[in-house]
Amino acid sequence: MTGTRLAGYPYRTLCVWIATLALIWLALCSPWPFVWNGVCAALVVLMAVVAIVIATRRIRERQQATRHVLSAIDTALASLPSDIKRNTPLIIAVGDAPHIVRTAREARPEGAPLGEPVHADGSLADLFGSDLVRITDTAIWVRSDDPARLAHLADALKRWRDGQGPDAVAYPVAADRVDSQPNFAAALKQWRGAIAEASRAVGYPLPVCVAVYAEEVHSAAGDCPWFGVSGGSALRIETLSELVASRLEQYMRMGLSINPEPRARRAAQLDALTRWACDAVLPALVDAQRGSQPLHVTGFGVTAIEGRPGPHSLYRQFVSSITGLTLSAANGRRLTCPLPEPLIRGIPPQPARRTLPRALAHAFACLAACFCAAAAASAWQNRALVERVVGDMSRYKAIAPAQNAARVDALTAVKRDRDELERYATSGVPPRLGLGLYRGAPLQPVANALIASYQPPAPPPPTIELDSLSLFSTGKAVLNPGSNRVLVRALEMIKAYPDKRVLVAGHTDSVGHSSSNLKLSEARAASVRDWLADASGIPATHFAIQGYGDTRPKAPNDTEAGRASNRRVEITLIPDCRDDRSNGLTPQGHPACSFE
């Protein structure tokens, strides 16, 4: 057998193709986390390996099951033209293997000697003898007596004919050998399932031709023709008996002038045979049954052959029930059954069905499915990207300018989104967001404008200087009535920067003793601190006081204007040194960082 004869549907190649598409989708388009993608990729590879192993085993089983049949066909066609396999109808003849009963008396026809082998049901041996293949002028006939291998055989013959499958299945029934209703019903059910499975294997419903044989003693009517019908459409059982009866009537009339009695007897026998087949054979094949599809029976015929009629067969019992006659067995020589060639001529040949176009169509369908899955994943991830960027920008806009720390955190997220969008604009959109569904480009200028619009809060004034004379009487540390009007500006500054700590420092001129001036400056700073704490509601621990006395003059103390300038209270906002310590920073150079 050549390589082209074994070429069939590329199941393994298609498995590899599907696995490759799935891995590409997981690598480039999947919205799932990396761990999930890895698990799914491992499952895809495992399933592909299992599918390839199963397909390889089935291919080997098919080759082993059909090698001898294909070899027999090649041998039979060796001397014939090479194109005969496509131009000649190919028919699979199915039937049970010969079943020999040696001791069952009820299966032995009357008059048969004891110990003689008796066929309990029909077999293909009467059609083929010991051959596997028969070639006639009408068709190539291939024998199949194993229902389990029929699907393999049909598929192998389709490959052997380069895509043109078997044209029909012939099911011969030897009516005189059917003597057990349960066994016969089981055989019909088994072959019905096997033919249905073979139809699925070749990709179309196989036409079935049922050929029914009745045995008769050598008759003066001569060779019996076939009576029946065949075509491309399914038969109607309810009209089949009338159709065959009309043709039997024509057959009888043609022999009236020659020898009417043998023909009349044969016509009556075949009419009864047809009615028995329509009652016991065809319904089991074409009626809808649970879990089994009806067969596509397009041909049916009956004929009489020379042999030994058996009164114990179901057919003979059927004849006795409708006629009231008891038939006796007759001794006769068993001849080979003729093939139902006239019935096959009416069944149209099957067209070639190439596997490559079908495989390419399936591969393209898988590619289209993968593209649709990639587009769906891209649309989902684009939607998530837009929702995230828009959500970050909305979150930033919703924060009040006074909450600068929260605004900075939200602005950082917006900047991160902007950087991602700029990377896509310069380096290209990744496949997981591409496929023409990218919606991030319009958001980039909006993010840039939002970032550019950020204005940091104005820095706090370094120091507010208050004139001591406007707050205190000379030499006193108690606030004068009405001094709160002077402290309001300082109070507003403190409330505007609640995250800052407050240092209140007192200064004096050089008049008087230095130690007294130092105590006075510290006391004045404490009075201002207490008022600010009460007015702002900020805990006193948020404030620090410091008295410098006359140690830090702003102007010379030798003039009245200079001394007036040096008498002052300074309020300064400083970072919270506790926050600095929590960030690993050590405040340096300012005594306010040491207070608690």
- pLDDT (tens place) for every residue of the chain, 596 residues total: 333 334 468 889 999 999 999 999 999 999 999 999 999 999 999 999 999 999 999 888 888 888 888 888 888 887 777 778 778 999 999 987 544 333 333 334 444 443 333 333 446 888 888 889 999 988 999 999 899 999 999 989 988 888 889 999 999 999 988 888 999 999 999 999 999 999 998 989 999 999 999 988 766 667 889 999 999 999 999 999 999 999 998 888 886 666 678 888 888 889 999 999 999 999 999 988 766 789 999 999 999 988 877 767 888 888 888 776 555 554 444 556 889 999 999 999 988 888 888 889 999 999 999 999 999 999 999 999 999 999 999 999 999 887 888 899 999 999 999 999 999 999 999 988 988 789 899 999 999 999 999 988 777 667 888 888 788 888 888 888 888 888 888 888 888 877 788 999 999 988 888 899 899 999 999 999 999 888 888 888 889 999 999 999 988 988 888 888 888 999 888 876 554 444 444 444 444 444 43
Distance CA 185, CA 289 (A): 13
Tally of helices (H runs) and strands (E runs) in the chain: 19, 13
464 DSSP β-pair partners = 571
Q: From 3.30.1330.60, 3.90.550.10, 3.30.310.10, 3.90.1300.10, which CATH number describes the 464-594 domain? A: 3.30.1330.60
Question: Which amino acid makes up residue 148?
Answer: A
Yes or no: say if 93 and 299 are a contact pair by the CB < 8 Å rule.
no
The structural domains of the chain, with segments of one domain joined by +, span: 1-76, 81-353, 363-452, 464-594
Q: Which two tokens mark 497? A: 């920067």
Q: Which two tokens mark 464? A: 């507010």
Which among 353, 349, 352, 346 is positioned nearest to 90, based on CA atoms? 349
What number of residues does the chain have?
Answer: 596
Yes or no: say if 136 and 76 are a contact pair by the CB < 8 Å rule.
no
User: What predicted TM-score, i.e. pTM, was given to this entire model?
Assistant: 0.63
Distance CA 497, CA 360 (A): 73
422 DSSP β-pair partners = none
> Residue 322's Cα: distance from chain center in Å?
59
